[in-house]
Structure 1
Amino acid sequence: MLTVRSRGRDVLYLPGGKREQGEDDWSALSREVREELAVELVPATFRRLGVVRAPAHDQPEYEYVRMACFTAGYDGDIVPTGEVDEFRYVGHENRDLLAPASQAALDLAKTHGLLYP
């Protein structure tokens, strides 16, 4: 699974972010991935996997993240840009490197058979 480490962070997250006013999930994800990794998502490959809820990393106790998870193909070469310092592909053996919501997304991807053994 493709993850990113944002500047100043100690764990890996999924590429993406919050919607801006008027954006749907596809538009927001496409914009965020373009801003973070300089690639274009391929609309025909966009697939919703589900929603996860997990404790928010580096936030007060009882703060939670609700994250809609998707998969998509892309065009271009991945290059970390903006606030992203690095990108990294991870599997279940790297689960401990992820923020809690990203761990839940990794588990979701595994249930959909999207991770290599």
Structure 2
Amino acid sequence: MIEIVTALIRDEQGRVLLVRKIGTDSFMQPGGKREANEDDLTTLTREIREELGCTVVPDSIRPLGTFEAPAANEPGRWVRARAYKVRITGQISCEAEIAELIWVDPGKPCERKLAPLTRDTILPLALSPENQAL
């Protein structure tokens, strides 16, 4: 099991931010693995800064739950994700291992390849009324 922390980030139009890492073909929500002695929020803040060059707005962090799905980039493995809804501040850009970012409407089919966790759990969560607002 690969343990990760991940973020549901929305824009003013309600779209969800997804990223694709270098050398991969699936889009997923930003986030990543904990480093030694990190808690979820420290990991999430660090990953957002490293991947997107942005800052998490501290009072915006809301837990969504813990979810499991097949890993997108490691065949035969699974991820267990602690997911949080967050707002960010600053200019978003592809940093570190991020090759590309896109904004998707969670209520419409996406033409890009999505990670199983994103497709089956995070985007449906984004459609629930409590997760639609910024």
TM > 0.5 fold call? yes
What is the CA deviation profile of residues 60-79 of structure 1, one whole-angstrom value per residue up to 9, with x for unaligned ones? 33x21111111111110001
Cα distance in 1 for partners of 2:82, 2:31 equals 10
Measured after TM superposition, the shift of residue 109 of structure 1 is 2.1
Change (3 A) 1:88 1:96: closer
| Residue of structure 2 equivalent to 1:42 | 57
Decide which structure has greater strand share.
2
Secondary structure class of the residue paired with 2:110: helix
Cα distance in 1 for partners of 2:111, 2:125 equals 12
Change (3 A) 1:37 1:12: same
**Aligned mate of 2:128, from 100, 111, 117:** 111
Q: Which runs of 5+ in 1 are unaligned?
A: none
Cα distance in 1 for partners of 2:59, 2:111 equals 29
Alignment size in residue pairs: 115
Secondary structure class of the residue paired with 1:67: strand
Contact 2:85 2:131 in 1 (8 A): no
Contact 2:49 2:55 in 1 (8 A): yes
Decide which structure has greater helix share.
1
Identity, in percent, stands at 37
Instruction: Give the RMSD, CA atoms, in angstroms.
Output: 1.9
